Structure 1
Amino acid sequence: MRRLIILWLMLATMMFAAKPELMLLKEWDGQDVSGWLMSEKMDGVRAYWDGQKLISRGGIELSPPAWFTEGFPPFAVDGELWSKRGDFENIISIVKKKEPHDGWKNIAFYAFDVPHENGGLIQRLVKLEYYLKLNQADYLKVAKQITCKDEEHLKSFFQEIEKGGGEGVVVRNPDTKYVTKRDPSSLKIKSFHDAECEVVEHHKGEGKYKNSFGSLTCKTDEGIMFDIGSGFSDAERKNPPAIGSKITYKFQEITKGGKPRFPVYMRMKEEI
Structure 2
Amino acid sequence: MRAWWLLSLVLLSGNLWADKPEVMLLKTYDGSQNIQGWLMSEKLDGVRALWDGHKLVTRQGNEIHAPEEFLQRLPPFALDGELWTQRADFENIVSIVRKNQPDKGWQQITYQIFEVPNQSGGLLARLQVLKDFLQLHNAPKLRIIEQIPVQSRSEVLQALAEVTSKGGEGLVVRDGRQPYQTGRLNSVLKVKAYQDAECKVVQILPGLGKFEGKMGAVECEMADGKVIKIGSGFSDAQRNQPPEVDSFVTFKFYGLTEKGNPRFPVFLRVRNEP
TM-score of the pair, normalised by structure 1: 0.89
Identify the range of structure 1 (193-202 vs 161-170) with the bigger mean alpha-carbon deviation: 193-202
Superposed CA deviations along residues 48-82 of structure 1, whole A, max 9, x for unmatched, are 11012111100111110011123211111111111
Q: Which residue of 1 aligns with 2:9?
A: none
Q: Which residue of 1 aligns with 2:10?
A: none
Equivalent-residue separation in structure 2 for 1:84 and 1:34 (angstroms): 29
* Matched AA of 1:26: K
Equivalent-residue separation in structure 1 for 2:49 and 2:23 (angstroms): 9
Q: Which residue of 1 aligns with 2:188?
A: 186
Are residue 156 (structure 1) and residue 165 (structure 2) matched?
Answer: no
Q: Which residue of 246, 262, 265 corresponds with 1:263?
A: 265
**CA contact under 8 A between 1:70 and 1:137: conserved in structure 2?**
no
1:10-159 superposed matches below 5 A: 18-30=19-31, 31-159=33-161
Q: Which residue of 1 aligns with 2:240?
A: 238
* Matched AA of 2:147: Q
In structure 2, do the counterparts of structure 1 residues 140 and 191 end up closer, same or farther at CA, with 3 Å as the change threshold?
A: same
**CA contact under 8 A between 1:204 and 1:212: conserved in structure 2?**
yes
Equivalent-residue separation in structure 2 for 1:217 and 1:153 (angstroms): 39
Q: Which residue of 2 aligns with 1:3?
A: none
Moved over 4 A (4+): none
TM-score of the pair, normalised by structure 2: 0.89
Equivalent position SS for 1:73: coil
Identity of aligned residues (%): 47
**Superposed displacement of residue 271, structure 1:** 4.6
Equivalent position SS for 1:171: strand
Equivalent-residue separation in structure 2 for 1:161 and 1:67 (angstroms): 32
**CA contact under 8 A between 2:96 and 2:102: conserved in structure 1?**
no
Superposed CA deviations along residues 83-139 of structure 1, whole A, max 9, x for unmatched, are 111111111111111122221111111011111111111111111111101101121
* Matched AA of 1:269: R
Equivalent position SS for 1:67: helix
Q: Which residue of 2 aligns with 1:8?
A: none
**CA contact under 8 A between 1:199 and 1:243: conserved in structure 2?**
yes
**CA contact under 8 A between 2:79 and 2:115: conserved in structure 1?**
yes
Aligned length: 257
**Superposed displacement of residue 41, structure 1:** 0.4
Q: Which residue of 171, 174, 179 corresponds with 2:173?
A: 171
Equivalent-residue separation in structure 1 for 2:28 and 2:60 (angstroms): 22
**Superposed displacement of residue 216, structure 1:** 2.0
Equivalent-residue separation in structure 1 for 2:153 and 2:225 (angstroms): 38
Ranges in structure 2 where 5+ consecutive residues have no aligned partner: 1-16
**Superposed displacement of residue 219, structure 1:** 1.6
**Superposed displacement of residue 142, structure 1:** 0.5
Equivalent position SS for 1:260: coil
